[in-house]
Structure 1
Amino acid sequence: MITIRSNPERGRFELFDADADAVIGKAAYVDDVGAAQRIFYHTEISEEYGGRGLAGVLAAQALDETVAAGLMIVPVCPYIKKYLAKHPGYAANVLAPTPAHLEIVRASLAQRVRQ
């Protein structure tokens, strides 16, 4: 059984295959808490699970939970950008990425490497 779970400690939503006891995909983000924004910067699905539409299911839940949490969506990730272009219902909750958003992602990733 494949489920989606939020993992805020790791800054991502995860596709989890209970049968394999493994994370098989993720939609990674950084929250800009002061601005109430969630910056999505990377989405991936394990190769052996590709072609099943799982990335779209993951994106939908991640975006829905983001909106429900009162956060704006900032799409840096190419997949999330493409998904949003095909699903205009999110438009009121989307902000175009700025250089400041990219710096937040870069700083967050650099911090994780140091830990």
Structure 2
Amino acid sequence: MEQQTTLTVQNAPQRRRYELRDGDTVIGKAHYLPYDGGQGPERIFYHTTVSEDYAGQGLAARLVQDALDDTLDAGIAVVPVCPYVKLWLRKHPDYQQRATPVRPEHLAALENAQR
């Protein structure tokens, strides 16, 4: 008999990422940087990963959709720097029109945060 798993997506603000969990195990991450450049709160999504053990199941899409839903529902703008998030947005025009274009100050904030 196949074991039933419970997949959830949770914001982990202290780690600045959304976590895709299989029970208690983190199997995917959508990293973001909170940013406020004077135009209201934004989240710069810059890196998304899912464990290779879970590849090919559409889980990155679920992780990104849940992360973006939660972000937008909180009134926070989405800034798509991550290549996967950009790709996902191209496939979902209803979300794409709600995303904020990447500006040079977003990239500078990411660079400064990684120093």
Normalised TM-score (structure 1): 0.88
CA distance in 2, matches of 1:78, 1:91: 14
Aligned residue number for residue 80 of structure 2: 75
Which residue of 25, 50, 61 corresponds with 1:22?
25
Partner amino acid for 1:32? Y
Instruction: Looking at secondary structure, tell me which structure has more helix per residue.
Output: 1
Quote the offset at 1:96 in angstroms.
Answer: 1.4
Deviates further, 34-43 or 48-57: 34-43
Deviates further, 46-55 or 25-34: 25-34
Larger radius of gyration: 2
Deviates further, 83-92 or 44-53: 83-92
Partner amino acid for 2:104? P
Deviates further, 25-34 or 63-72: 25-34
Aligned residue number for residue 65 of structure 2: 60
Aligned-pair identity (%): 46
List alignment gaps of at least 5 residues for structure 2.
Answer: 1-5
Structure 1 segments (4+ residues) deviating >6 Å: none
Quote the offset at 1:105 in angstroms.
Answer: 1.1
- RMSD over aligned CA atoms reads 1.2
Quote the offset at 1:92 in angstroms.
Answer: 3.5
Write the deviation string for residues 57-101 of structure 1: whole angstroms up to 9, x where unpaired.
Answer: 001000001111111111000000000000011133211112210
Partner amino acid for 2:52? E
List alignment gaps of at least 5 residues for structure 1.
Answer: 111-115
Partner amino acid for 1:29? Y
Partner amino acid for 1:78? P
**Residue correspondences, number:** 108
Quote the offset at 1:29 in angstroms.
Answer: 0.3
